[in-house]
Amino acid sequence: MSIIVAGRNPEIGEAFAKDIAASFGIDCRFARLDAQALEAADLEVFAPAVVINASGPYQTQDYRLAQACVRAGAHYIDLSDSSAFTEGISALDAEARAAGVLMTSGASSVPSLSSAVVDHYLERFSHLRAVTTVISPGNSFDPGLATARSILGTLGKPIPGFENGHPAPRLGWQGLARQHMPGLGTRWISDCDAPDIALFPKRYAGLESVRVCAALEVGIFHLALWAASGLARIGLLPRPEVLAAPMLAMKRHMHGLGSDRGGMTVTLEGTGHSGHPLAIVWSLVAGAGHGPNIPAIPATIIARKLVSGALLSRGAQPAVGLFALEDFREAVSDLSITDAEHAR
């Protein structure tokens, strides 16, 4: 197997490729390519079997790269966490099927891993009523400027929501509450956009509520974003993304306040087969700074399945139902990442 690391910065890309080659003893090279200006001919030079698009944020992207992959005969996978982008990939289904490739979006913590968790526990419910997912990175995680701008751009803005069986828009980083996260303690949570909100009601019949939240480890950082979302909501902070650089600098300066422990929870609520209320909390805890690996694991699972021939799905679709929770557990067995089930 050979891997090509593609990007716009040779200095960073070549060093990264050399590190992968040395660490895993595989052929890994760098190619200078721009994901937003790529044509099928650029890919055909390398004849890739699978292309993984990790060049977020996806909120401002189109499907140019995905279509270039299809025309080059390569499977396409991305790590999108954008509701609109991930759901919209289905519009290219006919094109992907005609080319005999899989084009899938959202191969990340949400909706790929979160849906694998729901699929795993679904048979225990006679009626699944609500699913709530909370993602909480350790404070040592550095999101980078582009990601920080993407997050801040949603503050106080309408985002998808689903309550009482109907779409019910929420506001980015509002809905402030406290939640206990097994293995991580109690943290503040706030609403964020994620593909689950649009996809889960279609995938799981009878679902009445879907909520996805983010939770920063350091409470003062979380509350600062919540306060900024309030100012954005009333129009006093029309462009919160301009604060990305100074807020990121402050976070880096105060990195010692938190830890390298992060994780997520998926809470399923409904009725069990006994007729009584049933609630299951699935938790994941990542230590040793391994948390940032989690969003990329689903894409690697899907890519391996495609290369080995174990995954035969073709067409364009969101990345749900493409692997099982056991596949994820096997993929992280060499990392400081564990998961557990809790009754509530």
Q: What is the pLDDT of residue 147?
A: 82
Q: Are residues 303 and 279 in the same domain?
A: no
**What CATH code is carried by the domain that includes residue 25?**
3.40.50.720
Q: Are residues 43 and 172 in the same domain?
A: no
**What CATH code is carried by the domain that includes residue 142?**
3.30.360.10
**25: left (phi > 0), else alpha (psi -120 to 50), else beta?**
left
Q: Are residues 284 and 305 in the same domain?
A: no
Q: Are residues 166 and 27 in the same domain?
A: no
Q: Are residues 92 and 145 in the same domain?
A: no
Q: What is the pLDDT of residue 251?
A: 86
* Domain hosting residue 280, numbered range: 109-292+330-343
Q: Are residues 100 and 163 in the same domain?
A: no
Q: Are residues 266 and 336 in the same domain?
A: yes
Q: Are residues 318 and 238 in the same domain?
A: no
Q: What is the pLDDT of residue 253?
A: 84
When divided into structural domains, the chain yields a total of 2
Q: What is the pLDDT of residue 71?
A: 94
Strand partners, 163: 166
Distance CA 110, CA 319 (A): 9
Q: Are residues 223 and 282 in the same domain?
A: yes
| pLDDT, mean of residues 148-157 | 90
Q: Are residues 9 and 132 in the same domain?
A: no
pLDDT tens-place string over residues 256-309: 888 999 999 999 999 999 999 999 999 999 999 899 999 999 999 999 999 999
Q: What is the pLDDT of residue 3?
A: 94
pLDDT tens-place string over residues 177-229: 999 999 999 999 999 999 999 999 999 999 999 999 999 999 999 999 999 99
Q: Which amino acid is located at 69 in the chain?
A: C
The distance in angstroms from the start CA to the end CA of the chain is: 45
Q: Are residues 66 and 198 in the same domain?
A: no
